Structure 1
Amino acid sequence: MRLFGTGLVLMADNDSSPFAIQTHDLTRRFGLYCAVDHLSLQVRAGAIFALLGPNGSGKTTTVRMLTSLLPPSSGTASIDGHDVVRDPTAVRARIGYVPQMLSADPDLTGYENLWIGAKLYRIPRSERRGRIEEALDFMGIEQAGELVRHYSGGMTRRLEIAQSLVSRPRVLFLDEPTAGLDPAARRTLWCHLRELRQQWKMTIFLTTHYMEEASELCETVGFLRSGRLVNLGSPEELCSAQGGRRSLEEVFLEIAGEPHPSSGNRYAEVRRTRKAIRRHGG
């Protein structure tokens, strides 16, 4: 690793290797509040990367900027070589995005949800059925004709990922994809994500509060604290650097855990953050 701007950047073993995601001093402010503070990051194409941090640390704001849903206040970000501000259309054509909250329409069937997604991505009508069946088959969804309201949480999550695959994205963003899932459903989803990376050569950028998930899936993880990238590396490197034979959860608590009591009440800080984001349209 080396310093780059004001953040930490994991450098490539081979300088000619492409990066699917790159940011330099990426910053987002909501009024006086700085949600993401000069984030500089590179994610290698084909990697699974996790952005970690406590609630209110800036993870979702970062994802929204990288997916072109929220303009940065300053700094730059590019996806597959396309700038998120100057060329958002090209960025959106190359990504899939699954937000934190379940977004599938419960009053439609699984197939109908994917059909709508295919139309939004402007997939030619002649290709839609094949693309949809390919995505459903890959995610192991056999109940595509049933209403989504009858799906389990794990099945709904798999459907949403299938919906994001219809466009065959180069980069997939997942914001807390396994939140609320039972351990069995979580591990099933992990298997599908590994297959996506292996078979589709897809770059996966995820946020999670499950340190086991980050350890199991990711070659590289980054820790955010108060909007700043405070550490970056493989789970093994970070555990070793923090004394060895430690879990990533212990590293999380030490690197990105609660601030010192003198910094004020964390709950109050999160409430202020959410109010600022709502007030400024974030």
Structure 2
Amino acid sequence: MLAIIGGSGMTKLPCLEISHRQIVRTPYGEPSGPLTFGKIRDHEIVFLARHGHGHTIPPHAVNYRANLWALHLFKPKRVIAVVSVGGIRSDLSPGKIVVPNQIIDYTYGRKFTYFDNTDRPITYTDFTYPFCSRARDYLFKAAKLANEVVIDGGVYAVTQGPRLETAAEVNRLEQDGADMIGMTGMPEAVLARELGLSYAAIAAVANHAAGRGASIRAIPLEEVYAVLDKAMESVRNILEHLVIINDD
């Protein structure tokens, strides 16, 4: 089974033939919503909208621990996280699709580990490579089958949100080595690693990061959403082909 976490621009999967929805209780509280089970092209998947069905949960308030815990109970073969980002690197222009390979975490105050109890030994998690290489490879195979162009690699800077960054902050992030900016990659990625899940992200570039692009003016959000909607069509196409090869 493939698990898909939908982000901004993807609160549901139109191609999904829904069989049922299930409320899951976890030791870490409530997930963002019920898990949606169904099939795409006769292959089973489970889907969770990270921000809730109505996109009402801001990035810093998402219960990432509950979300990942709920998904792992159903033993998915892979977990694919759909994220939207602002592009810093020149080739990451609005509408492009990228599969990041690294993360820099700038978040704070989020519940970021399952190993925070003092009644058991300290557990250290190897996070050298934050995304599963096999899951990333499957995304590239699916993109090829779907005739979609996907950029291989990039450093995903995860900021706290929900506000967007200043131009000065983007300059700093670029100096740190970041290629794109989003708000939901952490602690989602490390929690998946702690649970032993094969996890990768596919990112839709919704806009140029602040101070980047041909124009440095602030881009109206309605323009950003229009670009994101179009990019998500490509992401959905890739996911539809991914379910075919996920069982291989």
What's the TM-score, normalizing by structure 2?
0.27
Larger RCO (alpha carbons 8 Å, 6+ apart):
2
The structure number with the bigger radius of gyration is: 1
What's the TM-score, normalizing by structure 1?
0.24
